């Protein structure tokens, strides 16, 4: 592919595990060109990235991602693909505000399989109502992960909540210890495990008195997330301002 047709891409959080994975895949592609890479949002490379990149893929940290979104919005670009997780409510609101000026694809998981899983979870939750079916989400990651539940677990929880027509925050149950009493009616429960080098395991369990349905996904290599992020980067180039997710990228919305 001619270099003129390549997407000029930047990577934020370039020294992290996901940043390294994204950069290694860019080098293998003919449709992408690494124009800039930086680790800290206040580094000198950021201004260079804003001048040279059409899209920046960001796997940094919540504060850094929020600062990057605000700065990009103030300039009117570039577009962003945000894979960072663990945002506070204020940071989520700031990114949503930035999406009024630039195109942002934000997802807790860029796996194509997880995106399809979320669509299945939403449909299952819609058809198997809270009147007869309890819903629990289990996730397991490596020992170094700092946020819980994982962004993917929350993404699946949001899908389940949409299916049931409820707000996730109003029905979420996270962590049970001691004499908790019976399970709350209509709750969407979360269980988080941290051990070894697990890349990512997610299961959504819908259980009635008589049967159990389990929908699950296992990640074997974090490069799969990098591939999905690059798919999102190609998709978001030239899009109008807005806050998008992988459902939009894959046409599942």
Distance from C-alpha of 2 to C-alpha of 137, rounded to nearest angstrom: 45
pLDDT of residue 2: 46
pLDDT (mean) for 35-63: 90
Annotated catalytic residue, options 15, 106, 145, 217:
145
Cross-strand pairs, 106: 82
Residue spans of the domains in the chain: they are: 3-106+223-249, 112-219
Single out the residue of 250, 228, 45, 238 nearest to residue 152, CA to CA. 228
Supply the Cα-derived Rg of the chain in whole angstroms: 19
Q: Which two tokens stand for residue 7?
A: 């997407």
Q: Place 3 in a pLDDT band, splitting at 50, 70 and 90.
A: low
Q: Place 41 in a pLDDT band, splitting at 50, 70 and 90.
A: low
Instruction: Specify whether the CB–CB gap between 231 and 174 falls below 8 A.
Output: no
Q: pTM value?
A: 0.76
145 part of the active site: yes
Q: Which two tokens stand for residue 100?
A: 């009024």
Distance from C-alpha of 32 to C-alpha of 83, rounded to nearest angstrom: 18
pLDDT tens, position by position, 83-118: 998 899 999 999 999 999 999 999 988 988 998 999
The domain 3-106+223-249: what is its CATH number? 3.40.50.720
141 part of the active site: yes
The domain 112-219: what is its CATH number? 3.30.360.10
Flag whether pLDDT at 4 surpasses 80: no
pLDDT of residue 175: 81
Annotated catalytic residue, options 106, 141, 202, 217:
141
pLDDT tens, position by position, 74-83: 999 999 999 9
């Amino acid at each position: 592919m001619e270099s003129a047709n390549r997407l000029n891409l930047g990577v934020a959080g370039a020294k992290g595990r996901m940043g390294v994975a994204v950069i290694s895949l860019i080098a293998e592609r003919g449709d992408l060109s690494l124009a800039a890479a930086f680790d800290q949002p206040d580094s000198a490379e950021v201004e260079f990235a804003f001048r040279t990149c059409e899209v920046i893929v960001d796997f940094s940290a919540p504060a850094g991602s929020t600062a990057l979104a605000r700065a990009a919005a103030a300039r009117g670009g570039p577009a962003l693909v945000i894979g960072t997780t663990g945002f506070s409510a204020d940071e989520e609101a700031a990114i949503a505000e930035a999406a009024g000026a630039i195109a942002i694809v934000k997802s807790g998981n860029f796996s194509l399989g997880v995106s399809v899983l979320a669509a299945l979870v939403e449909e299952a939750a819609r058809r198997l109502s809270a009147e007869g079916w309890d819903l629990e989400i289990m996730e397991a990651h490596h020992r170094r992960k700092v946020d819980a539940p994982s962004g993917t677990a929350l993404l699946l929880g949001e899908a389940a909540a949409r299916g049931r027509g409820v707000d996730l925050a109003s029905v979420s149950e996270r962590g049970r210890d001691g004499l908790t009493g019976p399970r709350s009616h209509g709750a969407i429960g979360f269980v988080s495990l941290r051990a070894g080098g697990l890349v990512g395991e997610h299961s959504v369990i819908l259980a009635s008195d008589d049967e159990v349905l389990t929908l699950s996904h296992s990640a074997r290599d974090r490069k799969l997330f990098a591939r999905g992020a690059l798919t999102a980067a190609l998709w978001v180039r030239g899009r109008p301002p807005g806050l998008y997710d992988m459902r939009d990228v894959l046409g599942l919305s």
